[in-house]
Chains A and B, each alone.
Chain A
């Protein structure tokens, strides 16, 4: 397995089993966009700074541009399309819409996935915590306040549904 030729990787993307042959220098982002057509995962900076290529790898947010595709072998990936069934909106996405938390939309998939991962760990995060967690996701439309509002609204709503003790 130690040579320059392609290597086989098998993984799941949004619950679907996928396999591909990749060069070692190909990033997970390359694999998702170019081989699998997941164009909702976006190239921003290529340095792990902007967060537009955020993917959940085994549930945790990772920069798709900084993980080699070969390193994702055996992993379970979630892109923003995996948050809800095709054609439906996840309630967190609905909160983004209601709050006007998306302008051009380029950063939105990364924002949603990072926020979603946070909500799995901490269902009622403070505004401070949300801000801290999303600091690595850049929005050049300067829509940060509305994004924080949307995540908070989702958390408050989810807490109501579980009797305020989410």
Chain B
């Protein structure tokens, strides 16, 4: 399997990338880490006429801005996985990055690329939706801010225009008394998730749930943020196993995943219930731990 010929342009800034994309129109693709795109080129699933290589733009450091982390789009998964600031301020993001592919995927793959690629079984899109992350999108008329939830549409489909590029990602940090969990089932530990769940739970001083969210990957055309109503029974109550299980079963019943070569829809639904319960329980347990540590 060898890629079909294409033309190649290196750009040194996102502005240059935008203009190159604008000139080439729909026949151009941006290449960042290339860990999803190049397999598609090698398999000839994608045959762009032009590749615009943004790697020379480079990635500055991951910055802690208090309420959020600022990550350049070209931040490699490996850099996220190894960043002390990410483990301290937003550990669920580091955990998700550590689950991406194999070590070579993480050496090259980028956060911005992963979000723009919009694979419904991707770990980082799932966690970005769970956290309410935002991206800065660079276009011809300047930059615009977009919630990742509004960026992702469907399989490999986003709201990015053909001449726009993701320049930066802002990820809210975890609040005090909050806990997190990211769990996934995959056939081998370097594979895409069959199903994955990102859960966030906040507790009050008495240990009752004040906020809970869950985002499920691998069960729909994009990561699915569970509607708040479906988790309402958790609020104001202690996160007991039986209650978590009941809520997770109810959430899973709302799903209608497709069958594919990796798993049947029914199996994915079952995984959503089991992983959902475990993720909510783990997030609640971590929230209790954080509550004790908080001043």
A→B interface (CB under 8 Å): 1-4, 7, 23-25, 27, 30, 46-49, 51, 54, 60-63, 65-68, 70-71, 114, 117-118, 132-133, 135-137
A62 & B5 in contact (Cβ 8 Å cutoff): no
Bound state CA distance, A119 and B18, in angstroms?
40
A68 & B103 in contact (Cβ 8 Å cutoff): no
**Quick one: which of A30, A66, A70, A133 contacts B103, CB cutoff 8 A?**
A133
The listed residue with most A CB atoms (<10 A of its CB), out of B4, B6, B38, is B38
A48 & B7 in contact (Cβ 8 Å cutoff): no
Closest to B11 in A: A2
Bound state CA distance, A119 and B85, in angstroms?
24
A-B contact pairs, 7 of them (CB 8 A): A1-B9, A4-B5, A25-B2, A25-B4, A51-B102, A66-B35, A133-B103
Q: A24-B51, A25-B3 are in contact. Are A46 and B103 (CB under 8 A)?
A: no
Q: Does B8 contact A (CB under 8 A)?
A: yes
Q: Least Cβ distance of B158 to chain A in Å?
A: 22
| Contact residues, B59-114 vs A (CB, 8 A) | 78, 101-105, 107-108
Closest to B7 in A: A4
Bound state CA distance, A24 and B28, in angstroms?
14
Contact with A along B15-47 (1 / 0, CB 8 A): 000000000000000010011001101110000
B107 & A61 in contact (Cβ 8 Å cutoff): yes
Bound state CA distance, A60 and B109, in angstroms?
13
Bound state CA distance, A150 and B51, in angstroms?
42
Contacts of B55 in A (CB 8 A): 71
Contacts of A117 in B (CB 8 A): 103
Contacts of A70 in B (CB 8 A): 8, 10, 53
Q: A66-B108, A67-B108 are in contact. Are A47 and B7 (CB under 8 A)?
A: no
**Quick one: which of A2, A114, A133, A136 contacts B8, CB cutoff 8 A?**
A2
**Leading 4 A-B pairs by shortest Cβ distance:** A136-B102, A24-B8, A47-B39, A2-B9
Contacts of B38 in A (CB 8 A): 27, 48, 65-68
Contacts of A54 in B (CB 8 A): 104
Q: A1-B10, A48-B38, A66-B34 are in contact. Are A135 and B51 (CB under 8 A)?
A: no
B42 & A114 in contact (Cβ 8 Å cutoff): no
Q: Least Cβ distance of B39 to chain A in Å?
A: 4
Contacts of A66 in B (CB 8 A): 34-35, 38-39, 42, 104, 108
Q: Least Cβ distance of A67 to chain B in Å?
A: 7
Bound state CA distance, A145 and B170, in angstroms?
42
Bound state CA distance, A64 and B8, in angstroms?
18
**Quick one: which of B6, B78, B188 contacts A25, CB cutoff 8 A?**
B6
A48 & B104 in contact (Cβ 8 Å cutoff): yes
Q: A25-B3, A48-B38 are in contact. Are A60 and B102 (CB under 8 A)?
A: no
A132 & B8 in contact (Cβ 8 Å cutoff): no
B103 & A48 in contact (Cβ 8 Å cutoff): no
